[in-house]
Amino acid sequence: MVLGSLSASSMRPSYGQESAALTDTRLVERLDGRAATLAGRVQESPEGTIRKQGLDLGVIISGAYNDNIMLSSSAPVKDFVIRATPSLAYIRGNAEANEGGYLKVAYKPTSVVFTEGGSSNRVDQDATWQIGLHGKKTSIAYEGRIQKLGDATPETGQQTDRLMLEHVVRTAWSATDKVALELSAGQSSADYDQRGLVDSSGAYGEVGLRYTYSPKTRFGVSYRAGTFQVDSAGDQQIQRGTVRMEWKPREKIAIDLEAGAEHRTYDAGSSTKPIINAKVGWTPRPGTEISLSGYRRTEASSVFAGQNFDVAGASVGISQKVGEKWTARLEGGLENASYSRVSGIGAANRRDRIVFIQPSVRYQMTDDSQVEWFYRYEKNQSSQQGFGYDNHLIGIQFGYQF
């Protein structure tokens, strides 16, 4: 495990509608990012989707019994769901190289078939891109992600058709071998098809200073300012400052910690609240990996116009290789979300508490193929009538890399 693996950017949209910047780390992707599907989280577990220069092709096929496909609190619908995800990727150059250009593009459509509720069948779309150029002192990069999704989300409690877009431009200048100045600008948007859900968009600019104390220790400080616009509610002006430490005290331990504060100004006033992104990876011995993750931030609701929610969560995972071909993994975590009104009138009293546990077993059949059996239980206790759910998911998936 290396520091880079902890600090790599992820472009998954967040729980409600306000996508975090691409430069943020998605720390608990199976819990954090509540807009993601349960089956989708399982689907993404096969590794090595982009392994070589040039064109790369793969496919993931899964079948899972889901006892609450809508994440409904009162009328759960059961179904056996089949997903087929071909992946097409192209890579040229090396984003980690000191000099030179690079290009990475990937496209993953997912055919979702409900064996009992055929009218809900759909094809999700997911495309990502990265392009950049490294010079001796300066570098510039542009990356983004666009998704057309239709899965149920914990916030909406129903299947939710939406278009999610986020992209960012970054540039960096190395003043010395140890000090670098970084500038970035990003934009995100969420557009919902269902009547009653709230579209949104946001934009920001950020400046950061990075200091490499040693090959195993890096520090950073950043300031961000931006605007977040929500339909049927006033704009939110956002400022935030964070400090970050990436530390690898030993060969088998890596720590990535970012903390700070975010100030928001909105129709109903203003607030200043903490931000935390943290991840620890530990490999106590060959074949064993342990991970700890935690986060806290403020987002805007896609269900209740004029409301924000504070979300905080943590998870732990342990992976153990058994023999040459078998790997067992156990994950668990919790998340709390608390709503408050920032625009308009009316009470904001929703409180959500999500817990989940997910064991899985993977068998590596060949270098290019694997099969995985998984089970997931997730429960959302919500104080708002009409929300909250119990969900059991059990299935199998097969992955092949051509």
Give the model's pLDDT for residue 120. Answer: 87
Whole-prediction pTM: 0.85
Cα separation, 83 vs 69, whole angstroms:
13
Amino acid present at 150 = G
In the block, tokens 């009538």 appear at 385
Give the model's pLDDT for residue 175. Answer: 95
Cα separation, 174 vs 138, whole angstroms:
6
Cα separation, 78 vs 84, whole angstroms:
20
Cα separation, 380 vs 98, whole angstroms:
46
The CATH number of the domain covering residues in 3-401: 2.40.160
Give the model's pLDDT for residue 117. Answer: 82
Radius of gyration of the chain (CA): 21
Give the model's pLDDT for residue 52. Answer: 65
Report long-range pairs for 238-243 (Cβ below 8 Å, ≥24 apart): 238/202, 238/204, 238/262, 238/263, 238/264, 239/263, 240/275, 242/275, 243/219
Q: Are 371 and 398 in contact (CB under 8 A)?
A: yes
The token duo for 131 is 């392009």
Among 22, 8, 310, which residue's Cα sits nearest to residue 165? Answer: 22
**In 3-state terms, the chain is what percent helix, strand and coil (to 5)?**
5, 65, 35
Q: Give the angle 124-130-131 at the CA atoms, nearest 5°.
A: 145
Cα separation, 86 vs 83, whole angstroms:
10
Low-confidence residues of the chain, pLDDT below 50? Answer: 1-51
Q: Tell which phi-psi region holds residue 243, choosing left (phi > 0), alpha (psi between -120 and 50) or beta.
A: beta
Give the model's pLDDT for residue 53. Answer: 86
